[in-house]
């Protein structure tokens, strides 16, 4: 039956018979069936609006994954589900109260009702429910000082990863968590947590010397995922000087990551362009290739200033650089022609 309900959800082909089949799945003995039933009903929202009361009941399912799917499904109904979710905020079952508050947290104007429920439930909640509370608090716009403090306080405990996700979602409003994050950068042994850290530092938007120095250190960590995340965070923080310094590093890995960080924006600016053009003359072909790749597919007018460097790169000693430079140049020429800027090539 699980596979059947999964297929129904994938197809999103609504009918009264399908709705009835999914509703029946909500009370099945198999937790996977119940979870897929919730998911399928949410996938067909708002046609399946008759299922809203049953989904509210499912938010107190003994299995946290079913609770999660039921809350997710109710979010898919949007304002249609708001009255039922608000009514569930005073339910006797703590999981239902929490899941209802989490679902409401992302809705406009719901924070005053949802946040008190989430904060009050914390003390009696189990780890799974606390994870849901952190998710709910992260949806509040803007998050309150109490929400930020709770998330920051979890960064060093068993809920460190969901707390890190919550702080990232809160963005600049969670800057109070920065001292703990910097401290943990040198003490945490959790590789997954550390790989997520640069993204969070970028999301907080605070480019102190301590933060940029920490991210620069990560550029030479040897962990490709961490290096890429750190370069992206430096770019997000607009730490151009730090990326420029990294571009002069004796380490090829650091220089490559610096180029990737400089290119990690949708639209180029003059400072980034100047540094990227310097990378075309790097002694290592991998760095030169990364510099060429930074312009591949770009169509903004400023990118046309890279044309002389790209033309030179078509004669590079390394085949990969030559080939990629030619392809990048062809795309840029096509964009210029399309925009009526042929004179740039004259």
CATH code of the domain containing 78: 1.25.10.10
pLDDT at 339: 63
Residue 43 lies in a domain: yes
Establish if 129 belongs to a structural domain.
no
pLDDT for the residue 300 = 86
Note the helical H segments in 48-144: 52-58, 64-76, 82-88, 94-105, 111-121, 127-139
What's the domain range around 6?
1-113
- The answer to whether residue 2 sits within a structural domain is yes
Mean pLDDT of 287-299: 94
User: Which has the higher per-residue pLDDT, 160 or 228?
Assistant: 160
Residue 305 domain-assigned?
Answer: no
> Would you say residue 17 has pLDDT above 70?
yes
Q: What is the DSSP letter of 27?
A: T
- Measured from the Cβ of residue 270, the count of other Cβ atoms closer than 10 Å reads 9
pLDDT of residue 186: 83
pLDDT > 90 fraction of the chain, expressed in percent and rounded: 77
pLDDT confidence band for 345 (50 / 70 / 90): very low
Examine residue 147 and state whether it is found in any structural domain, yes or no.
Answer: no
Is the pLDDT at 340 greater than 80? The verdict is no
Tell whether omega for the bond before 46 is within 30 degrees of 0, i.e. cis.
yes
Please, which residues have CB within 8 angstroms of residue 173's CB and are 6 or more apart in sequence? 142, 143, 148
- Does some domain include residue 97? yes
pLDDT band at 65 (very low <50, low <70, confident <90, very high): very high
The answer, yes or no, to whether residue 241 has pLDDT greater than 70, is yes
Q: Is the pLDDT of residue 346 over 50?
A: no
Average the pLDDT over 279-293 and give the result.
Answer: 97
How many domains would you assign to the chain?
1
Residue 142 preceded by cis peptide, ω within 30: yes
**pLDDT score at 219:** 86
Q: Is residue 29 assigned to a domain? A: yes
């Amino acid at each position: 039956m699980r596979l059947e309900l999964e297929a129904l959800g994938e197809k999103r082909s609504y009918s009264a018979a399908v709705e009835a089949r999914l509703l029946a799945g909500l009370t099945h003995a198999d937790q996977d069936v119940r979870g897929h039933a919730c998911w399928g009903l949410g996938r067909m929202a708002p046609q399946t609006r008759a299922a809203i009361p049953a989904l509210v009941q499912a938010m107190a399912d003994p299995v946290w994954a079913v609770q999660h799917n039921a809350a997710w499904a109710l979010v898919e109904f949007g304002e249609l589900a708001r009255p039922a979710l608000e009514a569930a905020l005073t339910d006797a079952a703590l999981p239902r109260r929490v899941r209802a508050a989490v679902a409401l947290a992302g809705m406009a104007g719901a924070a005053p009702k949802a946040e008190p429920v989430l904060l009050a439930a914390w003390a009696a909640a189990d780890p799974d429910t606390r994870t849901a509370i952190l998710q709910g608090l992260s949806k509040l716009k803007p998050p309150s000082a109490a929400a930020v403090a709770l998330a920051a306080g979890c960064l060093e405990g068993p809920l460190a990863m969901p707390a890190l996700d919550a702080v990232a979602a809160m963005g600049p409003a969670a800057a109070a968590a920065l001292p703990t994050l910097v401290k943990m950068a040198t003490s945490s042994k959790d590789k997954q947590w550390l790989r997520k850290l640069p993204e969070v530092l970028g999301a907080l938007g605070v480019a102190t010397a301590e933060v940029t120095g920490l991210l620069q250190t990560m550029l030479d960590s040897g962990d490709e995922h961490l290096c890429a995340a750190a370069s992206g965070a430096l770019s997000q923080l607009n730490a151009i000087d730090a990326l420029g310094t990294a571009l002069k590093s004796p380490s090829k890995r650091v220089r490559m990551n610096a180029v990737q960080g400089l290119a990690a924006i949708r639209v180029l600016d003059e400072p980034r362009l100047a540094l990227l053009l310097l990378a075309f003359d790097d002694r290592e072909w991998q760095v030169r290739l990364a510099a060429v790749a930074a312009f591949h597919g770009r169509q903004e007018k400023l990118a046309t200033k890279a044309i002389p460097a790209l033309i030179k790169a078509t004669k590079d000693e390394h085949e990969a650089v030559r080939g990629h430079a030619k392809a990048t140049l062809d795309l840029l020429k096509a964009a210029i022609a399309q925009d009526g800027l042929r004179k740039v090539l004259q």
